[in-house]
Amino acid sequence: MTGLDRAEALPPIRAVVFDVGETIVDETRPWGEWADWLGIPRLTLFAVLGGAIARGDHRGVFDILRPGLDIQAESARRRAETATTWVNSTDLYPDALPAIAALREAGYLVGIAGNQPRETEQVIASLGIPLDLVTSSSGLGVAKPDPAFFERIADELNLAPAAIAYVGDRVDNDVIPAAAAGMLSIFIRRGPWAYLQALDGLPAGTTEIGSLLELSAALAALEPGMDLDPDPDSASLRGSCPLPQRSGATPPLLAARCDSHGSQAKGMHRGTSTQLGLDSP
């Protein structure tokens, strides 16, 4: 679906919801620390993890390397002895906070929703990142790729699914089920899941980005004629297409589409903010 087609057929995107692992969070450190804890060379764990991902179940890495391991009990023991958390502030990808800030400045609601334990929703609370929604599979009682997971996101935001863009790195857990639920799927190509699953190709019509800093331009390109200015009475930007200010050049395809349509992304007033949570293996 082109930007013009979408603008005519669907409501404007009003919210952007992010997956967690390898979307906003680099999981290199926590996986490496698991290798250290289990006495496995990091290269070995990373390599077997890649193979497990390719086979469709990344949790199988523990079955392969430590058969019979009760991962839940081991996780609890590890937390008790080391007070470690799956994610800390240093694990955020460098583009995560600037992307969230840019989207909120543009007027979008911004949320985080991933397959994660509820306890990790408190990990980044101390950072004070303003969000309009934070939820988890544990909190919702349903996990991706179940369609109910995405339905609950729409309910929490009080929006139609078509007004929500869901950003994730996995084709199976993010792109396909979010689109099936009626959301706009945005695929970010980074992390092992993304590179391995993309080898089989992406579903037709999937929007792909290489950095979260490309989101604002991607949304603008998909919604020609929309206004980034949250003030509906303001005509100062109407009909133009300002691309987000960031380091590096705007992706040529997005720039070309934006220039050809003279477009901007529709924003909305931001609601009450909460804090985001993070997932674990």
**Per-10-residue mean pLDDT, the chain, length 281:** 50 92 94 96 96 88 94 91 82 94 93 81 72 83 92 94 96 95 96 94 92 93 57 31 33 33 31 36 55
271 within a domain of the structure (yes/no): no
Q: Are residues 35 and 138 in the same domain?
A: no
269 within a domain of the structure (yes/no): no
Kind of pairing between the strands at 207-209 and 184-188? parallel
| Residue 57 confidence (pLDDT) | 84
Provide the domain count of the chain: 2
Please give the radius of gyration of the chain, using alpha carbons only, rounded to the nearest integer: 19
Distance CA 69, CA 72 (A): 9
* Peptide bond between residue 203 and the one before it cis (omega within 30 degrees of 0): no
| Residue 137 confidence (pLDDT) | 86
279 within a domain of the structure (yes/no): no
Domain stops at, among 67, 86, 105:
86
**Structural domain harbouring 40:** 28-86
Q: Are residues 140 and 164 in the same domain?
A: yes
The residue type at 150: F
Q: Are residues 110 and 239 in the same domain?
A: yes
Q: Are residues 166 and 193 in the same domain?
A: yes
Q: Are residues 160 and 140 in the same domain?
A: yes
User: If 0-12 CB within 10 Å is exposed, 13-18 middle and 19+ buried, where does residue 190 land?
Assistant: middle
Q: Are residues 10 and 50 in the same domain?
A: no
At 57 the three-state DSSP class reads coil
Q: Are residues 21 and 10 in the same domain?
A: yes
Q: Are residues 98 and 57 in the same domain?
A: no
Give the CATH number, domain containing residue 117.
Answer: 3.40.50.1000
Distance CA 107, CA 272 (A): 13
* Beta carbons of 143 and 47 less than 8 angstroms apart: no
| Residue 258 confidence (pLDDT) | 34
281 within a domain of the structure (yes/no): no
Q: Are residues 60 and 192 in the same domain?
A: no
| Residue 126 confidence (pLDDT) | 66
152 within a domain of the structure (yes/no): yes
Residues 6 or more apart whose CB falls under 8 angstroms from that of 202 comprise: 171, 175, 187, 208
